[in-house]
């Protein structure tokens, strides 16, 4: 598969968009309805913007209206659910500018991962636009917490994301995964810094996997090691999810279901849950609306804490006292 930019070792220092449209169709995970999304090229400084029901919804954290088992964006009466898997693919491929037309109220779940989105975007091609990218350079630590759930963001030259989970169940014990959009050494150093800052993460560090250390470029690691990780739930969650009116489009073809007898389909990775949480974190961080320079670690967290951290990062970036030199 051709890479969207030479080397694909880091995102290029200029804005990018798609070379042509990419279209995806399928069923929405939570609405259960057929949906179609077309990702279109957009000019420099346009950003990533969803269009549905005659409304334009910027893909920014302040437009998040719901974080119940997904990230949903809304404006007026228009709402779009489950944007995180597409947003992760757009960020990892360096697509800064896109107009995303949605026919329906949810993005298609496809196979439950981000890989079909990434493959479709790569088939469309990525064009460089010659303008410097928008960036958020984190200068102070951001920390949001809800009980034993945490999201840390620490200043780093480029973005590294990691997630650690422990559901205390078979196939779902302590596991963690790290993905870096830069060279591996920096992200390892960042993890050590986070470990020093919080004893909470210490017990979850031993199973940490970072395939970039094994010779992969960030893009290849995303395509092969992160984007294929599927959305998941536990069998005893299903009744409450359905009672809340969610998950009506879920099936064994698009959701990994875990029970006491094991996973519903073979795991794609032994730590697939941590990888999917890392993927969700990357997709939610894309709602910062810029390339984030930070190491961001989510511990037992979900969309609500991810978005809370992104909101705080955006507030700091927009604070003249903070952003000025």
DSSP 39-99: EEE--TT--EEEEETTEEEESSGGGEEE-SSS-EEEETTEEEB--HHHHHHHHHTT--BEE
**Could you give the CA distance from residue 5 to residue 128 in angstroms, rounded to a whole number?**
8
What are the tokens at 165?
A: 């989970």
Pick from 94, 75, 76: nearest CA to 134? 94
Q: Is 191 left (phi over 0), alpha (psi -120 to 50) or beta?
A: alpha
Catalytically active residues, by annotation? 303
Where the chain has pLDDT below 70, the residues are 1-10, 182-216, 319-325
Pick from 256, 255, 219, 1: nearest CA to 89? 219
Q: What would you report as the CA-atom Rg of the chain, rounded to the nearest whole angstrom?
A: 18
* pTM for the structure as a whole: 0.91
Using the structure block, give the residue that is written with the tokens 């549905």: 52
Given 3-state DSSP classes, what are the helix, strand and coil percentages for the chain, each rounded to the nearest 5?
A: 30, 30, 40
Query: So what's the pLDDT on residue 207?
Result: 44
- 51, β-bridge pairs: 56, 101
Query: So what's the pLDDT on residue 260?
Result: 87
User: pLDDT (tens digit, 9 = 90+) per residue, 179-188?
Assistant: 887 655 455 5
Query: So what's the pLDDT on residue 76?
Result: 92
Using the structure block, give the residue that is written with the tokens 């037992």: 300
- What DSSP element (H or E) covers 308? helix 303-318
CB 192 within 8 A of CB 160: no
């Amino acid at each position: 598969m051709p890479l969207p930019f030479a080397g694909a070792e880091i995102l290029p220092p200029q804005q990018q968009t798609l070379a042509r449209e990419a279209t995806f169709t399928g069923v929405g995970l939570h609405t259960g309805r057929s949906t179609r999304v077309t990702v279109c090229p957009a000019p420099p400084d346009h950003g990533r913007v969803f269009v549905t029901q005659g409304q334009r919804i910027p893909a920014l954290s302040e437009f998040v209206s719901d974080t119940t088992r997904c990230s949903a964006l809304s404006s007026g009466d228009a709402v779009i659910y489950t944007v995180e898997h597409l947003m992760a693919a757009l960020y990892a491929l360096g697509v800064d500018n896109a107009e995303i037309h949605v026919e329906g109220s949810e993005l298609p779940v496809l196979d439950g991962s981000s890989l079909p989105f990434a493959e479709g975007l790569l088939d469309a091609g990525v064009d460089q636009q010659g303008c410097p990218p928008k960036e958020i350079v984190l200068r102070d630590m951001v920390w949001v917490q809800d009980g034993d759930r945490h999201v840390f963001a620490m200043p780093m030259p480029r973005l590294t994301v990691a997630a650690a989970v422990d559901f205390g169940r078979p196939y779902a014990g302590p596991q963690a995964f790290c993905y870096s959009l830069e060279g591996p050494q920096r992200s390892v150093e960042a993890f050590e810094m986070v470990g020093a800052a919080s004893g909470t993460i210490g017990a979850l560090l031993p199973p940490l996997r970072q395939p970039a250390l094994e010779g992969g470029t960030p893009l290849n690691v995303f395509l092969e090691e992160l984007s294929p990780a599927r959305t998941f739930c536990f069998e005893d969650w299903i009744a409450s999810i359905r009672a809340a009116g969610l998950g009506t489009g879920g099936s064994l073809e698009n959701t990994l279901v875990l029970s006491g007898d094991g996973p519903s389909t073979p795991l794609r990775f032994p730590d697939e849950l941590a990888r999917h949480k890392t993927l969700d974190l990357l997709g939610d961080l894309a709602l910062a609306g810029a390339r984030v320079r930070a190491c961001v670690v989510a511990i037992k967290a979900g969309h609500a804490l991810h978005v809370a951290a992104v909101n705080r990062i955006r507030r700091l970036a927009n604070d003249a006292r903070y952003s000025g030199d």
